[in-house]
């Protein structure tokens, strides 16, 4: 095969789906790009984990410029090994970003948030939906440290969702600073660590407009009673944002089905 023909063929194979793009070959040949491939719906461009913010932003802009308005294009951060992650679980991409269809200004804004959050060690699966950021944490023992660092960043200072990877049903926290203090988040994380079989969810509509509810299920009857006493203890009121209240619902499986106990954090109740 002639060298020129071989080079063209290699570029096409490297960047499958280029019919939706013009000039994509140049983007795919960027040293900061790991690969370009088609997943059946979208052209997926993977950018190196070592690429700088400036390089990553430039690739996003170039892809947007090169692609047709009706193309489907995603930019993905190269997965890397994460400390604390089960070695049998493949690390996911730190984030994915839809380049097309989409408005460039909105894309740049979302990418800036993701680039900021990924600087916090231990973060995975960073996403931004309608302006609300979320991330996964690789190890429960690092959850508090990741929360402290991430929630102090401008991207998450107004709130965000934190999930344990890969089992977000064990621990998921919607942090709404208007209602939820860092102290309460630490209490919730501590409960999840102390009860590895439980489902611990601090749930609220994203955006922070309404107070959350703490749901803890898959408890034994003994654990339920102990947590009811712990959460209802008036001393817990010090973990609340002044002037707010947080409800909790605890669940345990009995021979007659699921039994629930509810209350208000820091407000002891009888039975």
Query: Does 29 map to a domain?
Result: no
In a domain? residue 184? yes
Task: Assess if residue 213 is contained within a domain.
Answer: yes
φ and ψ at 2, to 5 degrees?
-65, 145
Determine the pLDDT at residue 254. 84
Cα 168 to Cα 192: distance, rounded to the nearest angstrom: 11
Is residue 26 a part of any domain in this protein? Answer: no
Query: How far is residue 60's CA from residue 55's CA, in Å, rounded to a whole number?
Result: 9
In a domain, 134, yes or no: no
User: Residue 139: left (phi > 0), alpha (psi -120 to 50), or beta?
Assistant: beta
Whether 154 maps to a domain, the answer reads no
> How confident is the model at residue 91, as a pLDDT?
81
pLDDT of residue 84: 67
| pLDDT value, residue 40 | 77
The token pair that represents 212 in the structure block: 């959350």
Containing domain of residue 177, as a range?
A: 169-271
Could you list the pLDDT tens digit for every one of the 271 residues in the chain?
433 323 333 444 444 444 444 466 788 899 999 999 987 788 999 999 999 999 999 999 999 998 888 899 999 999 877 766 677 778 888 999 999 999 999 999 999 999 999 999 889 999 998 889 999 998 899 999 999 999 999 999 999 999 999 888 999 999 999 999 999 999 999 999 999 999 999 999 887 788 899 999 999 999 999 999 999 999 999 999 999 999 999 999 888 888 999 999 999 764 4
* Predicted pLDDT of residue 9: 36
**Residue 122 placed within a domain:** no
Number of domains in the chain: 1
Per-residue confidence (pLDDT) for residue 262, from 0 to 100: 96
Q: Which residues on adjacent β-strands are paired with residue 139?
A: none
* Residue 161, pLDDT score: 96
Q: Are 45 and 74 in contact (CB under 8 A)?
A: yes
pLDDT at 63: 93
Check residue 68 and report its DSSP letter: -
Report, in angstroms and rounded to the nearest whole number, the Rg of the chain calculated over CA atoms: 23
State the pLDDT at residue 130. Answer: 84
How far is the C-alpha of 225 from the C-alpha of 237, rounded, in Å? 19
Instruction: Look at residue 218 and tell me if it is in a domain.
Output: yes
Query: Residue 55 corresponds to which tokens in the numbers above?
Result: 């390089």
């Amino acid at each position: 095969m002639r060298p020129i023909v071989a080079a063209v063929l290699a570029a096409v194979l490297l960047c499958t789906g280029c019919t939706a793009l013009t000039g994509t070959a140049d983007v795919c040949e960027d040293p900061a790009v790991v690969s370009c491939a088609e997943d059946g719906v979208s052209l997926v461009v993977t950018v190196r984990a070592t690429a700088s913010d400036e390089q990553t932003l430039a690739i996003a802009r170039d892809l947007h410029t090169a692609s047709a308005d009706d193309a489907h294009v995603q930019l993905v951060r190269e997965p890397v090994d994460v400390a604390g992650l089960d070695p049998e679980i493949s690390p996911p991409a730190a984030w994915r970003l839809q380049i097309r269809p989409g408005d460039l200004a909105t894309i740049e804004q979302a990418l800036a948030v993701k680039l900021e959050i990924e600087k916090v060690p231990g973060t995975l699966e960073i996403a931004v939906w309608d302006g609300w950021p979320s991330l996964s944490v690789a190890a429960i023992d690092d959850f508090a440290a990741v929360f402290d660092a991430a929630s102090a960043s401008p991207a998450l200072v107004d709130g965000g969702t934190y999930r344990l990877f890969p089992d977000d049903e064990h621990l998921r926290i919607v942090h709404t600073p208007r209602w939820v203090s860092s102290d309460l988040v630490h209490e919730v994380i501590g409960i999840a660590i102390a009860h590895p079989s439980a489902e611990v969810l601090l749930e609220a509509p994203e955006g922070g407009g309404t107070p959350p509810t703490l749901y803890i299920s898959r408890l034994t009857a003994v654990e339920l009673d102990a947590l009811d006493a712990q959460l209802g203890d008036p001393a817990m009121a010090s973990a609340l944002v002044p002037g707010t209240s947080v409800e909790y619902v605890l669940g345990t499986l009995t021979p007659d089905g699921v039994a629930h106990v509810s209350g208000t954090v820091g407000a002891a109740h009888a039975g």
